[in-house]
Amino acid sequence: MKTIKRNILLNPGPSTTTDTVKYAQVVPDICPREKEFGGLMRGLREDLVRIVHGDPEAYTAVLFCGSGTLNIDVCLNSLLPEGKKVLVVNNGAYSARAVEICEYYGLPHIDLRFAADERPDLEKVEQVLKENPDIALVHTTHNETGTGILNPVREIGALAHRYGAVFTVDTTSTYAMRPIHIREDNIDFCMASAQKGLMAMTGLSFVVGNRRLLEASKDYPKRSYYCNLYLQYDYFERTGEMHFTPPVQTIYAALQALKEYWAEGEEAKWERHTRVFEAIHAGLAELGFRDIIKREWQAGLVVSVLYPDDPNWDFEKVHDYCYERGFTIYPGKISQMDTFRLCALGAIDEPDIRDFFAVFREALEENQIAVPVVYQKEER
Ligand SMILES: *Cc1c(COP(=O)(O)O)cnc(C)c1O
């Protein structure tokens, strides 16, 4: 097996993958309607439920061909009964995306907004639920990847359930990294795509959710032909196949990634991501950078860093210097603040972060940016 140039991706996905996962895609051609391939997908779906500790009788996984946003689209358009409303608990870019999806489908919804650097106020969430008994679906984001803030999904889910609503959570940037217990966390449907926590390839996305609630959605309005959760689930249950052509090679990569996931183990993997996250913080602190989310609120996977107040600071130039040397850094996603992000996803470990900071420091020096970096305002 030839080794492939190893890039360290510090962007919030797709993530750095192992060569064994990359090469798992190189397989003999196969028609995905063959029984052999159906068997692979059955095992894959079961594993995806196991990752969030779901009881395989009560929970199921439904696969789709597409990127992670497709899951948000699918859950919102498929799980809302006629005449009911969605509540989006929104403190960042990914929940804002869910709001846009509601708008595009014309779904009645409430966009309950909180500041991007604050956790949602649970009392306000409860008040809205109390005042709007027609809310049937509550949606939020677990780790707001735009900032790295961790939302209290267990508490929001408990409120949703107390008021009779189904709870969908965008776990795209925590799934298979930060441990999730679907039932204990009061999640009815969570979601992810293969290129993030699983450290596999893009093109495969999946919703893991409560089978009873999924079956209850059978007669809900069908708002999309391709992206309907019940229709895809039902097709799987009857035939063991995806309704339309699955991303064949991506599925082979995901199967290899799952093998590697179980071999590493949930706990050890989370410890590794934590190690990487701590190393990112240590490297930033040494250079004087500030992050924007309170440390105890961070999900442990994304660090949002404030641009320094240096006339020579130029994100693009720093990015390009690092990129040419195999390290990818990523812009932020908050409208009110200029930030960039360093993420702890993927098949990387502490030494990669040390190597990165050596290059990053060079990039700053090369661009005559003062080290340690300067900020005009006092730290908050
Ligand atoms: C990455 C991500 C998505 C999916 O984004 P795509 O560009 O569609 O892959 C959705 N939600 C969150 C929280 C994410 O981090």
- Tell me the CB-side half-sphere exposure of residue 130, using CA atoms within 13 A: 6
Confidence of residue 377 (pLDDT cuts 50, 70, 90): confident
Q: What is the pLDDT of residues 35-93, one digit of tens each?
A: 999 999 999 999 999 999 999 999 999 999 999 999 999 999 999 999 999 999 999 99
Could you give the CA distance from residue 178 to residue 174 in angstroms, rounded to a whole number?
Answer: 5
| CATH number of the domain located at residue range(s) 29-263 in this protein | 3.40.640.10
Q: What is the pLDDT of residues 144-184, one digit of tens each?
A: 999 999 999 999 999 999 999 999 999 999 999 999 999 99
Question: Atom 4 of ligand 1 has which residue's CA nearest to it?
Answer: 68
Cα 91–chain centre separation:
15
For ligand 1, mutation pick of 170, 175, 206, 341 (most atoms within 8 Å of CB): 170
Cα 139–chain centre separation:
14
For ligand 1, mutation pick of 73, 91, 143, 193 (most atoms within 8 Å of CB): 193
The confidence score (pLDDT) of residue 378 equals 73
Cis? peptide before 14, omega within 30° of 0 = yes
Q: What is the pLDDT of residues 247-286, one digit of tens each?
A: 999 999 999 999 999 999 999 999 999 999 999 999 999 9
Could you give the CA distance from residue 253 to residue 299 in angstroms, rounded to a whole number?
Answer: 27
Question: Does the model's pTM come out above 0.95?
Answer: yes
Interval between CA 367 and ligand 1 midpoint (Å): 32
Interval between CA 358 and ligand 1 midpoint (Å): 29
Cα 305–chain centre separation:
19
Question: Atom 3 of ligand 1 has which residue's CA nearest to it?
Answer: 68
Could you give the CA distance from residue 145 to residue 13 in angstroms, rounded to a whole number?
Answer: 10
Interval between CA 172 and ligand 1 midpoint (Å): 6
Q: What is the pLDDT of residues 204-224, one digit of tens each?
A: 999 999 999 999 999 999 999
